[in-house]
Structure 1
Amino acid sequence: MTDLINVYCDESCHLERDRQTAMVFGAIWCAEHKRYEISQRIKDIRARHGMPPSFEFKWTKVGQSKLQMYMDLVDYFFDDSDIHFRALVIPDKSIIDHNKFNQIHDDWYYKMYFNMIKVILKPLDSYNIYLDIKDTKSHSKSQKLHDVLCNNAYDFQRNMIRKVQHIRSHEAAQSQLADVLIGALSYKFRGKNTSAAKLSLIERIAQRSGYGLNRSTLYKEEKFNILVWQGREEQ
């Protein structure tokens, strides 16, 4: 039986010259028919902590006054078997050698997005892929990524990967959850330690996942999957 899966993608420190050492691509995915239920559960967490409906969960907003709310969000993610997370971490962008591989940063960007998403894809299912809007080039980037994903999956009729489109994070609670988990990994791999609240949330993610968050998980890990990119051969 074919399932329709929604994949909500985001990235952190993705620019080539942003003076950040680490870069993270990540995605939350769930069955399409579960998305309303998941959104409501995340809205309930927000309401339970007295936040207005317009409040967006974001890693940058994690602080001591909101820590328990973010702890509840992380616990909800690990308690709900219908939601999954995958991340690809580039721990040191300085090792990227575009000249060696005759490419520009945008070419590499799409390769990394493909490497992050490909483990999620199953040939008998179909997918809607949503990207967080970053800049004025978002539409052309989504079309390029759609082409790359379909070509690599031999999905020339686009039956498997139905669409790749940009949305704003306030439109999907799943995108906000992705932002928090990606932000946590980015914070850890950049060696940041200025926020006790953020460090506490990272520790909760590590405890609940059963992983130290500093290395790749098992390739087939379904709940919380991390690939730490080494950049040995293919860039």
Structure 2
Amino acid sequence: MGDIKEFKIFCDESNHLIYKDNPTLRSKVMVLGALKVQSSEIIRINKVIKYLKHKYNYNKEVKWTKLSLIQKKFYDELLEFFFSSLNMWFQAILIPDKTILQHDIYNQGSHDLFYYKMYYQALRNLIEIDTQIKIYLDYKDTKSGDKMKQLESVLCNKFKKSIDLKIFTIQSHESNIIQLVDLLIGAISYKARDDIEHTSEIKNYIVDKIETLASIELDAGTPPWENKFNIFKIHLDKGKC
């Protein structure tokens, strides 16, 4: 295949389940995130993240729901490393209000179909022609295999088979890069929520850190041409979801 470019894309989602009037599932906000990495840089990036975990004695999985205030310096260095890297690109899809989704009209009555439509939107912006792409989705459930294959097929057709693309599943604890995605989408989702008091010191700190590094407001979206840290905010009032 000559000197074809090779990339890996690591994906995660926040609050992807269908909205229910349930205190434990009450967030209306849904975020999907995808982080593209040049394959030749994977080993180096993993080494850096492992080094930072060792440096700060961070002996656990990085998860937005399990942040630690005493580890502010670890999060600082991890985020600074991402934003300073020339070989990592992030794309998020922000759905501010799942309660007004019209699945019966636009998604054949299926929230799962909408879920994969949104992943298509995130991934297509990270894919270049004449490249080899391996995509890793955070494991969702045992029924996701068929839709993953459909997503793979749609993406290949979109680029008229000018790419070599495969989709796999992976558990988040197996990938430091997916854990980084979890941190980024967690911050986006948290900032976009209007149903909670934003009282968490560490969560507010990380939101402020990312907004400073990216020079954006996380709940506002970004211009479409932004390619390092892009947030596509879905405007549901257009009635097309």
Is the partner of 1:100 in helix, strand or coil? helix
The equivalent position to 1:128 in structure 2, one of 119, 134, 140, is 134
Kindly report which structure 2 residues correspond to 1:61-210, keeping only aligned pairs within 5 A, or say none: 61-101=66-106, 103=108, 104-155=110-161, 160-191=163-194, 192=196, 193-210=198-215
Partner of 2:22: none
Partner of 2:14: 12
Give distance in 1, aligned partners of 2:220 and 2:11: 21
**Distance change >3 Å, CA 161–CA 184, structure 1 → 2:** farther
Fraction of identical pairs, as percent: 36
The equivalent position to 1:42 in structure 2, one of 49, 54, 60, is 49
68-77 vs 139-148, greater mean Cα deviation: 139-148
Which runs of 5 or more residues in structure 2 are unaligned?
20-24
Task: Note the aligned Cα RMSD (angstroms).
Answer: 1.6
Give distance in 1, aligned partners of 2:121 and 2:240: 11
Partner of 2:4: 2
Q: Please tell me the residue identity of whatever aligns with 1:36.
A: I
1:14 and 1:23 in contact (8 A); partners too: yes
The equivalent position to 2:231 in structure 1, one of 226, 231, 235, is 226
Give distance in 2, aligned partners of 1:81 and 1:184: 22
Offset at residue 186 of structure 1 (A)? 0.8
1:21 and 1:94 in contact (8 A); partners too: yes
Which runs of 5 or more residues in structure 1 are unaligned?
none
1:28 and 1:83 in contact (8 A); partners too: yes
Offset at residue 161 of structure 1 (A)? 4.2
Q: How many residues align?
A: 230
1:63 and 1:195 in contact (8 A); partners too: no
TM-score, normalised via structure 2 length: 0.90
Offset at residue 102 of structure 1 (A)? 5.2
Q: Please tell me the residue identity of whatever aligns with 1:224.
A: F
